[in-house]
Amino acid sequence: STRPVYRIASIPGDGIGPEVISTGITVLKKLAAVLGTFDLQFDHFDWSSDYYKKYGRYIPEGGLEELKKYNAIFFGAVGAPDVPDHISLWSLRLALVQPLQHYANVRPTRVLRGITPPLTSTATNPQNLDWVIIRENTEGEYAGQGGRTHVGQPWEVATEVAIFTRHGIERLMRFAFETAQKRKRKKLCVVTKSNAQRSGLVLWDEVAKIVGREFPDVEWDKMLVDAMTTRMVLHPETLDTIVATNLHADILSDLAASLAGSIGIAPTSNLDPTRANPSMFEPIHGSAFDLVGKGTANPVGTFWTAAEMLRWLEEETAADGLMECIENVTERGVRTADLGGNAGTEEVTREVCEEIERVC
């Protein structure tokens, strides 16, 4: 049989994006070479804030159509000190996620072996924190509806309108229930703020109830987002799969990553579950200006992201093997400063590559 070849579009972007994406590609190439069961071909797209400063746009004419030819997109981060964040985010990341209908943003969180999480209770029982957060990724509070009137006047007014469609909630909710159903504990927590936000999030609750009927084996409950922060900190073992709106899940997933040890280890997948478009995989963190060029950025978030990308490409064995190697390395104490260690980006990468040669 012929080996499958996956074509990957890499968009390293800004800041530490290029540093972590190049280490991610090194590790993926090593894994493919050692396993010999599939091939990966990378093409690089230099869409970034530098590109924007030169050409006035982040994505060139026809760029989106070009991306559709790939099996997956491997993305770093976007954001530069001299471009307003709302311009960079909307012109690149959201300009990909929305038209490619990456409506499910998936964020697994658990305590990797050898990592000491900040809470003593979780450090003692690391298995208590094992979650996957499903974030609505195309509408809600980040729908992009709003505007400014009387600009610069003392009576200036700005609106930011959250959009919730029955269709958008339903497809996401179904994906969340399916995710919960595939996990050992089959539990889903539906997060809202449907006491204060009395339209969109009441619809969210109603749709959850309707979709939930299709999944009698999934045990689900509801939580208001403010109370959810408390539950995540004090009773992590009561949670498994979590579904929330674009804004709420954005915030909860940074909290989740910190509770598991660091934002530097957390992966995220922007999925089009219909597979009509290639999905996009990125570490959760941003371009981290404070770390650029220092060689200290944690590459583990990108490695875990690479494993999630392989899983989506249905290369389960490779994905599991890569996670095993990453955790063998974190367990040995080869860790970057954000995890209390003193290894640099390159050392962690080298160790993971050596581990792949030993284990895979």
Q: Residue 195 in 3-state DSSP?
A: coil
CB of 205 to ligand NAI, least distance (A): 28
Rule CB under 6 A: is residue 249 a binding residue for ligand NAI? no
Q: Residue 268 in 3-state DSSP?
A: strand
List the one residue out of 307, 309, 346, 343 whose CA is nearest residue 326: 307
Task: Spell out the residues 6+ positions from residue 311 whose beta carbon is closer than 8 angstroms to its own.
Answer: 319
Please identify which residue in 193, 285, 311, 335 interacts with ligand NAI, judged by CB under 6 A: 285
Rule CB under 5 A: is residue 130 a binding residue for Mg ion? no
Distance from the Cα of residue 115 to its chain's centroid? 20
**What is the phi-psi region of residue 58: left when phi exceeds 0, alpha when psi lies from -120 to 50, beta otherwise?**
alpha
CB of 284 to ligand NAI, least distance (A): 7
Q: Which residue lies nearer to Mg ion by CB, 139 or 250?
A: 250
Under a CB-based contact definition with an 8 Å cutoff, are residues 303 and 29 in contact?
no
Rule CB under 6 A: is residue 290 a binding residue for ligand NAI? yes
Q: Of ligand NAI, Mg ion, none, which one sits near residue 78, judging by CB under 5 to 8 A according to partner kind?
A: ligand NAI
Q: Which of residues 334-353 bind ligand NAI (CB under 6 A)?
A: 336, 338
d(CA 97, CA 94): 5
Rule CB under 6 A: is residue 101 a binding residue for ligand NAI? no
Q: Which residue lies nearer to Mg ion by CB, 240 or 250?
A: 250
Task: Spell out the residues 6+ positions from residue 224 whose beta carbon is closer than 8 angstroms to its own.
Answer: 191, 192, 193, 194, 195
CB of 76 to ligand NAI, least distance (A): 7
Binding mask 170-209 for ligand NAI (x = CB under 6 A): ----------------------------------------
Binding mask 51-80 for ligand NAI (x = CB under 6 A): --------------------------xxx-
Rule CB under 6 A: is residue 264 a binding residue for ligand NAI? yes
CA distances from 37 to 3, 23, 302, 355 (A): 6, 21, 22, 18
Which range, of 95-103, 135-143, 250-258, 275-283, touches Mg ion by CB under 5 A? 250-258
Q: Which residue lies nearer to Mg ion by CB, 250 or 308?
A: 250
CB of 233 to ligand NAI, least distance (A): 19
The angle, 0 to 180 degrees and rounded to 10, between the axes of the packed helices 166-182 and 200-212 is 40
Q: Which residue lies nearer to Mg ion by CB, 18 or 283?
A: 283
Q: Which residues pair with 5 in a beta bridge?
A: 39
Please identify which residue in 139, 178, 250, 315 interacts with Mg ion, judged by CB under 5 A: 250
Q: Of Mg ion, ligand NAI, none, which one sits near residue 286, judging by CB under 5 to 8 A according to partner kind?
A: ligand NAI
List the one residue out of 77, 112, 135, 105 whose CA is nearest residue 259: 112
For residue 346, give the DSSP letter: H
d(CA 41, CA 340): 35
Tokens describing residue 152: 């610069």
Which range, of 122-130, 209-217, 286-294, 305-313, touches ligand NAI by CB under 6 A? 286-294
Amino acid 53 reads: K
Amino acid 81 reads: P
Which range, of 100-108, 184-192, 214-222, 247-255, touches Mg ion by CB under 5 A? 247-255
The angle, 0 to 180 degrees and rounded to 10, between the axes of the packed helices 316-331 and 17-35 is 120
List the one residue out of 202, 284, 193, 285 whose CA is nearest residue 244: 193
Q: Find the residue with minimal CB distance to ligand NAI.
A: 79
Interface ranges with Mg ion (CB under 5 A): 250
Interface ranges with ligand NAI (CB under 6 A): 16, 20, 77-79, 85, 89, 93, 263-264, 282, 285-288, 290-291, 297-298, 301, 336, 338
